[in-house]
A and B are shown apart, each in its own frame.
Chain A
């Protein structure tokens, strides 16, 4: 077994090939870094990760009298790493037998402070108006490892800002610390290579080639990769101070990749989405469609309260008045012609919602039918990196899927369990004799929904629609119920590859709305507030596909056996 020592702490690394940043992390410690990123090539240029290094051999430690960039330096059996944090190490480990004249951590500590001093030389320090403040690695590391006072009295360089860099992203050129993460991202992950470094020395700047702005469907990731406030998302710019944001683990619902995300909210408003590293889902990144596609939740056009149709058209109604009527209508229809009662469960629903709605409908009559809602497909799967001709090249590092919904797999498995097969929506849309149709939607984009209906589609007498936005469907509905967005509920999505991810609620739905899960529970006659976790347990017990979810899964999610779908 290979053992390395990090500030005297022995760590077993087995046969893993690690650099010092990784080895230090294995030891439960932290080595500050800027240019290093697990998903990008190592350039070892920022020089934040400086360490001291040596060897423990035959009970003797030999240290090399200089510093090394930890990100570039591999470790092997007997490697001794001493970081600038040596003095802060946890007590309880015997110091290694260093040369008595050697002061562990002195060189590394100075090198790190020197690097930070260098980075601040041309840095504007406009933290009060900088979006990154509060989550800025330059602030954090300067505070942790830097010098308290500046020794610079000369004027700083003031390169011009570049708001025209991209329609979605702006560059505060003077805040850049030249880590080149953004450049490497566009070369190595998106492959689109829009970004470059121009000029030399301390006049270096990030820029794009003339007439070739940073426009690709993964571009937003450079904002997250940027350790400082140089690259800013125009969408988020000056909307919030990050320390007011609440971060909730979520799952993006805009394609079947199902990226793990952070949902950043304040006072029940979603302000920003960021990718949450999840090797089992998408990796480190997310696409711009998802990143900036959250605005529908904050839309003023949403259906925000229940409505019922009378002679005078649709008008607001209270839940306690509407639900008994709704249930009575459906019960009656099911008694008369059970197979003409159909519920359409959309692939935007959580598995729990689909399960509870399905249970309710099948409880009206086992012959009542369940169909899978329209599955929006736009174009083709879009894989990265691209080559110069825009063609994807192997190995694939990111795929934006054509299937623009998060949970076809989850909803299908529920349907399969409850009625043995999955009826596609097209079949239902072509039928004429329906007596009641319950459409449980949640479509962020009403066009995707409307496109699935034949132009002259005629609604059955009883049409119940729960959705986010009004559409040709709600125009004909007897009951219109406000739907909830993925951020507004807890539940489980199963992505294209069968990865089930449970996510938490990030914001409350509109005040008069009731979530799909709650409506189903109410209709089932269950008392009180429904808990998604409880329904998940029922689901796990009832549907073998989900039995892995009986215990709360890790934030990484759980891969389910797709063969049953």
Chain B
């Protein structure tokens, strides 16, 4: 009796394949499939009804989705730029510190050590209009109106951005600081001799060298921010009245509150495009910047 045996490499890879299939492939295929159905969590039978691109058409013509989409892009742009500027500033200052730099570096990373949920709660308290820290401080300084930090649309957006920036600026600071440490000293000296003021040195020598590091931070953070959920969910829940609705709060509301999972999954696939575009953009920039400073191999 001859038994056909599986090839050895396949057998050896099988556990990995099974695990990957279970945690990545199956959910991926399942969610993609369900985005073509009117799947509702409360009525499992709807999973078997094929509606084609109905969900996608619905999303693309849905003002609420586009509002959330636009708000996410805006959020992303503001947060990334703020974090870049602050991170750059902090890194440059840290680089000048000669004493106690190690401890400072550790302290700098504290915000990253908190769970985003906790950061959300913390800022929810800080910005609370009745008992919040900010309003208390304002009042003790003689400003006598309670600002509705988390209720007014613009202020709420500001508060969320503030929390996000507070939590994640260190990512930029640390990566840029690493760049500064790796930076060769001689070109800086040559620039001094060539007549550069400190600002010109920064502009013409330091910054080009830091660009790859900045783009790496940008890539990482753009993926992070594009799926911002926890802080927003805790602080405003996307509300009030959807004024701070971002893609992910909208998606989770659609999927879990309205239990329209098929529709939520379709939203997920549309918004993935956003992430992919950002990633491609920053990777392009990254390799261009690397080529610029002669790092590309």
State yes or no: do A and B come from one complex: no
Interface residues of B (CB under 8 A from A): none
Interface residues of A (CB under 8 A from B): none
